Chains A and B, each alone.
Chain A
Amino acid sequence: MNRSLIVSLSPHIRSDVSVDKIMWSVVWALIPATIGAGYFFGIRAIILIILSIITALISEYICNLIFKREISIFDGSAVITGILLAFNLPPNVPFFIPIIGSFFAIVVVKQLFGGLGYNFLNPALAARAFLVASFPQIMSASYIAPYYGTISGFDAITQATPLTAIRNAKIMDTPRNLEILLDKATSWESLKNLFTGNVGGCLGETSAILLLIGAIYLLIKRYIDYRIPLSYLLTCFILSLFILPIKRFPNYHLFQILSGGLILGAFFMATDYVTSPITKKGRVIFGIGCGILTMLIRHFGGYPEGVSFSILLMNVATPLIERYTRPRVFGKK
């Protein structure tokens, strides 16, 4: 009889969902938006994304060797970081930007803290924050119009992304002009452009529909939990009802949801397993926190957009949230 039976502790069967399967599924889910980036911003966008992915993989590999860890470039996580970082860059940045950013994301944010599972900040977002702080000029002035539209999506004269246009008008324009601008921004035409992605913005954030295709796939597969995106978006939606009179600007909340990086952030970056809470209640709180911070930054902050900073801030709060949202143990009060 066979003498080489494996003796291991239970369980003897495992679910077929592995880390690699989840990570690669996220990569597939980002493909529609990647194609969209190429469609709206041209081949240059694709080159930026590829540069970012390659740098991420090389950095990951070198770190694996230096830290004597198992080679982890095939698990898909570095590819995700590469894509997401590129998605958060304006389309006209020079080629060295994704290279520096991706290197920073993988080496400093991820591998120096121990690799996948140990980083407390979302690598792509932390790297984006690093780039914004290091190259403010490049990062804020590299937006271009999509091939078939305008930068703002609602006004041919305005040379700024939708959220920036509104903020600039708030600071510099007369209330009368601001109202005209807001009317345009919340028009169906503008919303349609935001929904399809035919506006200026970071590479991968503009097209809500293409991002949602991927997100729905991940939600159906249950690779991401609906709690974070739902509470995040709902919070932004509700808060925007209070900012401007509904009767005057009935679509303002939709404008807020669809513009900037909110859809990308809510479905693909706030849901990052490693940096968001593991408890169900914690995830709801995390989403609400992201929503409040995003709306605060957008309306009162120095930056026109607040998605990445609010997610980063909530990343830091994650251990605390987890501590106070432990589920009730069966049989205990």
Chain B
Amino acid sequence: MFNFLISKQVKKFSFAGGVHPEENKHFTENSPIEKLPLPKLVYLPLLQHTGKQAKPLLNIGDKVKTGQIIGEADGKISANIHSSISGKVKDLKELPHPLIFGRVLTYVIESDGEDIWDENIKREFVKKEFDSDEIIEKVFKAGIVGLGGAAFPTAVKLSPPKEKVIDTLIINGCECEPYLTNDYRLMIEKPKEIILGALLLKKALEKNNKNIRLIFGIEDNKEKAIGIFDSYKKDYNFEVYTLKTKYPQGAEKQLIKAILKREVPSGGLPFDVGVVVQNVGTAYACYEACYFDKPLFERVITVSGNGIKEKKNLLVRIGTQIKDIVEYCGGYVGEIKKVIMGGPIMGVAIYSEDMPIVKGTTGILFFNEKEVILEKERDCIRCGRCVEVCPMGLLPTELHKFIKRREFDKARDYSLLDCIECGSCAFICPARIKLVQSFKFGKQEIIKKERK
């Protein structure tokens, strides 16, 4: 009865700047995660993570099982790639990649329709204790990368330099991008598994550090998830922080600032302020990797947007082509204008439905003429909205001016390299200036110059 009073007392945390786009999560927030039927073909690029491409292990014609390793991590920052179905290697060639400009060596695997899993994958949960090294090893073997979108190899993140003291592990359940509900559904349907996964991540970090705080950060538009995690926090000894719904609340630096009031120094990493941030999906994947020895070959994605008939949350095999998902979701509505991999603010518009789902794919959005409004870019009217919303305290319109004049040194002086490309400025700009595009270009030019 007095629920509304209690909820008002909850302290809500946030950061300076940011925007409030229409959330559009209602499309899918109440749709339970469904399993997508097995695809006939999967396309598995050997580069699905930040870092170096994996080395191919199989030849064309080889038989594979679901979960069998097909690409081996190469170098310090890299990740293993596993087959997501059982069948035969049909091809290995350079193919277009959904997220990376240019072609990437990709395995094409044809299904035998059986879905025979690798025999090392356990099918039953057995409670067990793991030590830090064991966890890092299992996470590495399973090819786990950050599932929030950045796809940074998790095992690397779990092994911070020894001189860095880590005192906090934040599990990121913000999901601040509009439309996306894959993390939310996972939090509601698999909370215990996520918590067990988070405890494993914490244990892994305790190799060199003691008494790490485990914090779940969840935006206040996910009340149900907050309630569920609150109910577990005493038993498993973690904290839950309610965060204001605001984009980009889920960006690492903004999340750390909101919860701990610590600022990652310019050019630095969360390590530098004693923090590691992992996404809830990543925690879940770690749970599966440790307790079941199950590699990362499937993930939950949100399929949404006005352009698709049935909007869903789907558990899909990595490498599934988008067209298979379109077919399962009942096809298009209206004239499809844009297909976006990821969220609508930071996602990538792709040009073909032949593209596969990769590890870092959080969702696929189909926008029809209702959502894609093409407005002409015009001159800046200096309204200052971009300055107001920039979560990094930059002057986007000034930076854009410098880049347009090719004054890259000046752009550098104005901290262009601190830009996190969250797109808040471009979202809010009433003159529709393509600021993110400009900043990406400017950064490349600065980096090019410095290499010389």
Contacts and interface: CB of A to CB of B under 8 A. Distances in A.
B371 A330 contact: no
Contacts of B382: 117, 273-274, 276, 278
Give me the 3 closest cross-chain CB pairs, A-B, nearest first. Answer: A278-B384, A11-B423, A117-B379
A18 interface: yes
B450 interface: no
Given A329-B394, A331-B253, A11 B375 contact: no
Interface in A117-138: 117-118
A199 B401 CA distance: 46
Contacts of A329: 266, 392-394, 415, 418
B149 to A, nearest CB: 11
A180 interface: no
Contact of A328 (B265, B347, B393): B393
Contacts, number: 160
24 contacts: A2-B336, A5-B336, A5-B339, A6-B338, A7-B350, A10-B345, A10-B349, A11-B423, A11-B436, A12-B338, A12-B372, A13-B22, A13-B345, A14-B426, A18-B430, A117-B380, A117-B382, A273-B382, A278-B398, A280-B388, A329-B392, A329-B415, A330-B393, A331-B418
Contact of A6 (B21, B266, B337, B353): B337
A7 B436 contact: no
A7 B326 CA distance: 18
Contact of A330 (B178, B263, B347, B365): B263
Interface in A301-333: 322, 326-332
B440 interface: yes
Nearest to B346: A10
B106 interface: no
A116 B395 contact: no
Interface of chain B: mostly helix, strand, loop or mixed? loop
A333 B372 CA distance: 40
B387 A17 contact: no
B427 A331 contact: no
A118 B394 contact: no
Nearest to B386: A278
A274 B265 contact: no
A115 interface: yes
A12 B372 CA distance: 8
B81 to A, nearest CB: 26
A50 interface: no
B378 A13 contact: no
Nearest to A12: B344
A171 interface: no
Interface in B260-294: 263-268
A72 to B, nearest CB: 8
Nearest to A278: B384
A256 to B, nearest CB: 28
Nearest to B376: A70
Interface in A259-306: 273-274, 276-280, 283
Interface residues of A, number: 41
A273 B337 contact: no
A116 B381 CA distance: 7
A70 B378 CA distance: 9
Interface string B382-425: 11110110111111011000000000000000110010000100
A1 B324 CA distance: 12
B434 interface: yes
A2 B326 CA distance: 12
A121 to B, nearest CB: 13
A295 B361 CA distance: 60
A14 B393 contact: no
A205 B228 CA distance: 59
A283 B385 CA distance: 13
Contact of A1 (B266, B353, B414, B426): B353
B375 A14 contact: yes
A274 B430 CA distance: 13
Contact of B371 (A13, A70, A274): A13
Contacts of A331: 253, 263-268, 392, 418
Given A11-B345, A327-B393, A332-B418, A118 B379 contact: yes
Given A5-B350, A331-B265, A12 B379 contact: no
A19 interface: yes
B21 A273 contact: no
Contacts of A274: 381-382
Contacts of A17: 385, 428, 430
Contacts of A11: 344-346, 423, 426-427, 436
Contacts of B372: 6, 12
Given A330-B263, A330-B391, A331-B253, A2 B332 contact: yes
Contacts of A1: 323, 326, 353
Contacts of B394: 327, 329
Contacts of A322: 398
A163 to B, nearest CB: 31
A9 B336 contact: no
A225 interface: yes
B383 A8 contact: no
B30 interface: no
B344 A9 contact: no
B140 interface: no
Given A14-B432, A15-B430, A21-B430, A330 B392 contact: yes
Contacts of A18: 375, 430-432
B49 to A, nearest CB: 20
A117 B382 CA distance: 6
Contact of B395 (A2, A21, A327): A327
A31 interface: no
Given A6-B374, A12-B372, 7 more contacts: A7-B349, A12-B345, A12-B347, A18-B432, A22-B430, A330-B257, A330-B266
A328 B431 CA distance: 25
A332 B266 contact: yes
Nearest to B20: A15
B126 interface: no
A70 B372 CA distance: 23
A327 B392 CA distance: 9
Contact of A15 (B267, B414, B428, B440): B428
